Structure 1
C-alpha cells in the first residue's frame, strides 16, 4: 500500500468542546502517542472565545470521560461541575396562572419501558393522582430537594441514580485540551487559519498565520457557525429549519451565588416565556441563566429585560451576552476528506442539551469508522451522513414536540402549533399515540437520539390527550404495575434519607475523591 493512499494525519480546525472531544477520541482510538500511529493535530484560534451557552450534558458524558481516562473527581473540581438528574419544565403546559404547571424529564425510571411499559397503567389510573414522573421515578423527588445522585463512597462514574452534569464549558474545553495534549498525544497549534488549500479529492492543507501551511490527510471542521472547511471551502450548503423551530437568538448572564454554600439545583430548569424559554443551570460557583427566544416575536431589549426580571436583584450590573443561533444542519456532514462536528455541522436550540451529546456521538462514530485507506472514505461518509441526518431530524422532532403540546396562546406558541410547521414524521407519531401507547417499535433505529422513555416523560408531562380505553384489555398486568408504583414510595424515602445534597457531595469532593472504577 502506497503512503499517499493511506490516512496518516488528521487535522482538527477549531477547539472548544467539539474540537477537543473529537481530537481526544481520535488520538485515543489511534494510540497517537505510539511511533507510526495516525497523528492528530488541533488548530485553535487564540482570538475566538468559547461561546459557553450549552452547559448541560446527558448521562453519556460519564462514558465519554471514562473512555478518555479522565478522573471524575478531577473533572468535577476543575470544571465547577454539578450533578444533573434531569430537566424541569415550568409553564410549558399553559400560561403561568395555572397551578401545578411543571413536569420533569428524568434520566431513569423504576422499570425499563421497553421491557415493562408503565405508561399505559398510569394513563388508566392505576397510580392514583400522581404525576407520571412521581409514579415511575424517584428522581423528581430528589431534584425537589436538590439531592445528589450518588454518595462519596460511590465509585467514579457509578451512580445510585442515573446522572449527567452541569459544567462550565470554557473550563471543560481547557481540561480536555490539557488531557489531550499531555496524555493522548494531540499536537496543538495556537494560530489563525488564513487560507484553505484543496484539490479534486478535498482539502490538502490549511495556511496559518503562525506556522505556515499545515498539511493533512483528513480534516475535521470544528470551526463553529462559520463552518470554514465544509461550508465555506467545500461548498456544502446549510439547511435552515427556521420554518420548524422559530427561536433564533439567546441572551445569557452568568449569576454568581450570594451564598457560596447555597443549594444547587439537581436539574436544568426550563421556564417557558412569551416567545421562548429561559434556562437556569446551577454550577458550583454560579448559575448559568439564558433566554432563548424568537426575534420575530420579541426584540433583543425585551428579551434581556425579561431575563433580568427572572433573575431578580442578583442581575443588577451583570453583563449579558447576545448569541445569534443558526438553527439547522449541513446537507452533508462528511464530504470528501472532511467532516464537520459541533456547530459547524448543525445546531438546534439547547432545550434538551442535545448539542454535546451529538458531538459525543459524532466523535465516537468518526473514531470507530475512519478508515486507513483513502479509497474507503466515500463509503464511510455515506454511512455517517445517513446516520446523522436521521439523528438531527429526530432531534428536531423531539424539540418541536415540546411546543406542539403546549396550551399557551401567545402568537409565538400559536405559530408553533400550526400544522405547516410540524414535520410529517411527528404528525404521524402523534396521530398514532393518540390511541396507542408509545412502543419500542417506534424507536427501532440504533441511532435514535432520544429513547422511548424521554418521549413518555414529555407526552405525559404535557398532558397529551391519549385515550387507551379501546384497547384497555391489553394491559392486564395490573398487579405488577401497582407493585412497581408502590416501590417508588419505599425507594424515595430511603434515597431521601441516605443521599447527600448536591452541595454536600461537591463540598466533600474538594477534599476526597470517588474510588476508581
Structure 2
C-alpha cells in the first residue's frame, strides 16, 4: 500500500494548472474513488500577459465535463465565439495595396473521410469559388460577422462549429473557483524555494519560501517557461527547434473598441508581415493583438511600431508588452513521478492556437490512464511520452507548412523559412506525395492527430497548393455525387444566414438571457 497514489501536487496556476486541477479533481469525484488529494501551489507574483487566447472546439467538451454553464463561462471570461482563422496576406504579399486571405474553418458540410470533395473542387466542379466556399457555409458566416448559433440554441451546441476567444486570466480564475469550491482542490499561494530529488531520481517534496514542505506521490509541472520541476530539478533536456520555426519574440497590445457596439470578429485574424505575423483576437470589450517575429530580422522597437500602425487607431497611451520565448519541447513530458503540462512541457508559436488544446489533451490522457500506484509509472510514462512526442511533432509540421507554402518573397525571413534544411522530413514527404495525389484518410491514420485532414486541406488549397490530377480517375457516378454535394452547400448558405444573429447581438443577449440547458 506504500505505492498507492494518494496525493497530487500541481506547481503553477494559470490555465494549464487550474484546468489540470479541476479536471483531475472532478474525475476522481465522479469515480467516487478512495480520496486522492489534489493540491495546487502557485506564486502570487506571476504577472498575466492578457493578450487574448484562442481555443479549439474541444474546449466545449472540457467545459461540459466541468459542469460549467456556457453562459457563465462567456460572461465571466469576456469570451467570444471563434469559428476558425482568417489568414491575410499569407499566400503572397499585398499587390497594389490589396489584401488576400483564406479561411481555416471549423465546419465543413461533409466529412472528407467519407467522401473527399477536394479533387472535384480542383477539377472545377464547384465553379470559380475558393475551397472554403465550396465545402462550407462558414466563410460567409464569418465575413458577415454572424455568430455560430442563436440565443435559443442549447448550450454548447451550434449551427456552425465553434470554439472561443477568451481572457486567459479570467478563465484561470473561473477554473480556480470551480476547482476549489466544487471539487475540493487545496490551494496554496507560495513561492517554491527548493525541490528535493531522491536517490532514485524522483521528486520527494518541494519547500516553499515560507518553509512549508509539500509532499506528493505525483507532481505536475505547470510552472510555465521556468519548468521548475521537469526541467530544472529533474534536468530533462529541452529540444530547441528554432532552426525549424524561427519566431522567438512577440509584442502585444490590448486595444479597446471605439464604441461598445463595435463588431466583434468571428475568427482569429492572422496577418502576415515581412518578418513574421500579427494576431488579432476580438474579445467583448477589446481586441488582443500581437506581432510575432524573429529578432534576427527585426528590432523590438520596429516590431512595436509596426503593431501600433496595424491597430489603426491611436495606441500611444497603451503600454506594449514584450515577450521572448524559445520554440521546442522537453525530451520527455513524463519522467519518474513528474508530468509537465503547458509551457513547462513545450512551446510553439500561437499561429493555430494549439496551446490550450494540448493542455486539454494531456489532462484527458492523464485522467484516462491515471496510475493507481507507482509501480504503473514506467508503462504509462512511455505511453504518455510517445503520444505527446507525436502530437508536438505533428503540430510543428502543420505550423511550418504555412510558411513553406507561402509565395511571399519580401525578405530573408520568408526565404529562410522555405529552405529545405529547415523543413521537417515528414512534411517534405507529405507535400511531395500530395503534389500528384489527393489527400487521403490513410495519411491521417493515427488516433491522436492534432490537425485532421480537413484542416490540412483548408490550408493547402487556401494557400494555392496544386495537386496534379492527370492520373486521377473521376467516375461519372462520383462526379454527379460531388456536384450534388457542392449544390447543397450553396443551397444552405442563405438558410444559415437567416437563422444566425450578428456576433455582437448574441453577446449582448447573453448579458440578459441564458442558453437553454440540454
TM-score (norm. length: structure 1)? 0.98
Deviation at residue 96 of structure 1 after TM alignment = 1.2
DSSP-derived class of the 1:196 partner: strand
For residue 117 of structure 1, report the CA deviation from its aligned partner.
0.6
Aligned to 1:80: 78
1:313 deviates by 2.1
Paired position in structure 2 for 1:252: 252
Q: 2: CA distance between counterparts of 1:32 and 1:162?
A: 28
**Which SS does the other structure have where 2:148 is aligned?**
coil
Bigger mean CA deviation after superposition, 308-317 or 270-279: 308-317
- In structure 2, the partner of 1:179 is 178
Paired position in structure 2 for 1:159 = 158
Cα offset, 1:54, TM superposition? 5.6
CA apart distance, 1:37? 1.3
What is residue 444 of structure 1 aligned with on the other side? 445
Helix, strand or coil at the partner of 1:339 = strand
Question: Secondary structure of 1:372's partner?
Answer: coil
TM-superposed deviation, 1:265: 0.5
Partner of 1:273: 273
Partner of 2:395: 395
Are the equivalent residues in 2 in contact too, given 1:252–1:290 (CA < 8 A)?
Answer: yes
Listed as ranges, the matches of 1:348-497 within 5 Å are 348-409=348-409, 410-473=411-474, 476-497=477-498
The C-alpha deviation readout for 1:298-332, integer Å capped at 9, x for no partner, is: 11111111000000223221110011111100000
Q: Following the alignment from structure 2 to structure 1, what is the Cα–Cα distance between the partners of residues 51 and 64?
A: 24
Q: Does 1:17 align with 2:18?
A: no
**Matches of 2:115 and 2:31, distance apart in 1:** 47
Q: Distance in 2 between matches of 1:193 and 1:108?
A: 44
Contact 2:51 2:167 (C-alpha < 8 Å) held by counterparts: no
Residues of 2 paired with 1:193 and 1:220: CA distance? 14
Structure 1 position 36, deviation (Å) = 4.1
C-alpha displacement at 1:468, in angstroms? 1.1
User: Displacement, 1:201?
Assistant: 5.0
Q: Secondary structure at the match of 2:332?
A: coil
Alignment of 1:25-424 (within 5 A): 25-31=23-29, 36-53=34-51, 55-97=53-95, 99=98, 101-199=100-198, 200-210=200-210, 212-409=212-409, 410-424=411-425
- Deviations along 1:169-221, one digit per CA (max 9) or x if unpaired, are 11001000001100111110011111011211511111012461011110000
Q: Following the alignment from structure 2 to structure 1, what is the Cα–Cα distance between the partners of residues 240 and 201?
A: 27
Question: 1:313 and 1:142 mapped to 2: Cα distance?
Answer: 26
SS for the counterpart of 2:509 is helix
2:77 and 2:170 in contact (8 A); partners too: yes
Shift of 1:97: 1.3
Residue 158 of structure 1 aligns to a residue whose secondary structure is coil
Superposed CA deviations along residues 263-285 of structure 1, whole A, max 9, x for unmatched, are: 10100000000110000000111
SS in 2 for 1:42: strand
Cα separation, 2, equivalents of 1:201 and 1:277: 42
Pick closer, same or farther for the CA change 1:474–1:354 going to 2, 3 Å: farther
**1:489 offset after TM fit, Å?**
2.0
Q: Are the aligned partners of 1:281 and 1:288 in contact in 2 as well (CA < 8 Å)?
A: yes
Deviation at 1:52, TM superposition (A): 3.7
Count of residues paired in the alignment: 515
Give the deviation of 1:28 after TM superposition: 1.0
Q: Does structure 1 conserve the Cα–Cα contact (< 8 Å) formed by 2:52 and 2:281?
A: no
**2:500 matched residue in structure 1:** 499
- What are the superposed Cα offsets for residues 75-120 of structure 1, whole Å, 9 maximum, x if unpaired? 0000000001100000000011175611000001111000011101
Q: How far apart are the structure 2 equivalents of 1:33 and 1:186?
A: 16
Structure 2 distance, partners of 1:444, 1:77, is 39
Please say if residues 201 and 337 of structure 1, whose CA atoms lie closer than 8 Å, have aligned partners that are also in contact: no
- Alignment partners' CA distance in 1, 2:105 and 2:32: 42
Question: Which runs of 5 or more residues in structure 2 are unaligned?
Answer: none
Instruction: State the 1:510 CA deviation.
Output: 0.3
Report which stretch shifted further, 13-22 or 194-203. 194-203
Q: State the distance in 2 between where 1:158 and 1:204 align.
A: 45
C-alpha distance in structure 1 between counterparts of 2:233 and 2:476, whole Å: 57
More off after superposition, 72-81 vs 192-201: 192-201
- Structure 1 residue matching 2:41: 3-state secondary structure: strand
In 2: Cα distance, 1:32 partner to 1:198 partner: 33
Q: In 2, distance between residues paired with 1:338 and 1:377? A: 10
Offset at 1:22?
0.5
2:280–2:290: 8 Å Cα contact kept in structure 1? Answer: yes
Aligned counterparts of 1:473 and 1:440: Cα–Cα separation in 2:
18
Distance of 2:185 and 2:517 partners within structure 1: 25
3-state SS of 2:472 partner: helix
Q: Structure 1: 5+ residue runs without aligned partners?
A: none
Whole-angstrom CA distance in 1 between matches of 2:477 and 2:34: 62
| Shift in Å, 1:32 | 8.6
